[in-house]
Amino acid sequence: MRAEWIAGTLRGRLLLAHRLGDEPARELAAQTSFEEAQRLLLASPYGRDLGAVAELATAQRAVAAVALWHLRILAGWLPPDGAVLLRALAGWYELANIEHHVAWIVTGTSPPPPFELGGLATVWPRIEPTRSLGEVRSVLAASPWGDPAAEEPVGLHLALRAGWARRVIDQAPEAREWAQAAVALFVARELLLAGDEDPHRLLALPGVRASWLSPPSVPELAAHLPARIRWALRDVEQPEELWRAELGWWQRVEEDARVLMRRSLGSPALVIGTVALLAVDAQRAARALAIAALGGAERTRERSGAAV
C-alpha cells in the first residue's frame, strides 16, 4: 500500500508540469479579446479540449475538464483509500453535473455536456437517468452526499454545497480549513449579497452557527467567525467587495498547497496539495480568459479601479 501511495504522489508531482503558470496567465489576461486569448490557450496544456470554442463559458468549462482529466489520471495511480480522498476533493465536478441536471428538470433547457468523471463519480451515473427532483433527492440520500432534506432547487443548491464541504472536512484534514473558510464566504454572499429570505437554512452548512446569521455587515460577520478562518473575510468592508475575499481564498489555498508539497513522497497531504495547485491553475486560466473577454487587464483595471 505504501508503494502505491509513493507512486501516486510521484505521479501527482509530474502532473503539476501540465499547468499554465503565473506568467502565461498574466499574458493571457493582457490580451484584448477572447479570441486572442483563446489562440494563446490553444498552445497551452488546456488546449486539449478547447478546439474552436466560440463562447467564454464553454472555454472555461473546457479548462475545467482538462484539470479533471489530470485528477482522473492521478486517481488511477492511487490505492483505494487515495481514490476516496480524491473523490471528495473533486466533488465540485459532480456537483456541477447535478446542478445542471436539476436545472434541466425544472426548466427543460438543454444542459452543457456533463463532466466525464470516470472513477471519480460517487453518484452521477445514478443521477443522470432521473427525471424528477424527488428521484434526485432519493439517489443523493443513498450516497456520500447525504439526504438534502429538500426537493426544490434552492434547497438542493444549499445541500450539495453542505455535502461537499462536509466530505472534504471529514476526509481531507489538510483541506479542512479551506472548506470551512469557503463555507464562511458562501454564508456572506447569501446573507449580504443575495439577501436570503430564510437565513436559518444556512445552519445546514457544516460549522455555521446561529450567531453568524444576524450581523448586518461583512466586518461584523467576520468578528463572529472562528479565529482560524477569519482570514476569509479580512480587509473586506462591503458586500460588493466579496470578490476580493474569493481571490484571497484562492491565494491562501495556493500558499498552503505549496507548503503541503514539501511533504515526503507517499503522504496523502501531497495529493491534497497537488489537487489544490491544479485547481488554482485552472481557476487562474479561466479568470484570465474572462479578463481578456472584457478587453484585457488594463481595460478591466480602468473599469474596476482595482488590481487584476
The pLDDT of residue 304: 41
The single residue listed with the C-alpha cell 424528477 is 132
**pLDDT reported for residue 300:** 57
| For range 160-189, the mean pLDDT | 97
Per-residue pLDDT for 50 more than 50?
yes
pLDDT, tens digit, 9 for 90 and up, residues 10-43? 999 999 999 999 999 999 999 999 999 999 999 9
Mean pLDDT across the stretch 64-76? 97
pLDDT digits (tens, 9 = 90+) for 186-220: 999 999 998 767 899 999 999 999 999 998 999 99
pLDDT > 50? residue 233: yes
Position with higher pLDDT, 59 vs 54: 59
- The per-residue pLDDT for 107 is 97
Check whether 243 has a pLDDT greater than 60. yes
pTM of the model: 0.94
Q: Which pLDDT score is estimated for 299?
A: 59
Q: Read off the amino acid at residue 258.
A: R
The whole-chain average pLDDT of the chain stands at 93
The rounded percent of the chain whose pLDDT value lies above 70 is: 95
Mean pLDDT on 283-307: 75
User: How far is residue 140 from each of residues 72, 144, 222, measured CA to CA in Å?
Assistant: 22, 8, 32
Q: In the prediction, which pLDDT does 303 show?
A: 47
pLDDT in tens, 255-266: 999 999 999 999
Asked whether the beta carbons of 216 and 170 are under 8 A apart, the reply is no
- Domain ranges within the chain, ordered by starting residue: 2-304
Condensed to tens digits (0 to 9), the pLDDT of residues 95-149 reads 999 999 999 999 999 999 999 999 999 999 999 999 999 999 999 999 999 999 9
Residue 49 confidence class, pLDDT cut points 50, 70, 90? confident
What pLDDT is stored for residue 302 in this prediction? Answer: 46
Residue 298: pLDDT band (50, 70, 90) is low
- Rounded mean pLDDT, 167-180: 98
Assign 305 a pLDDT band (cuts: 50, 70, 90): very low
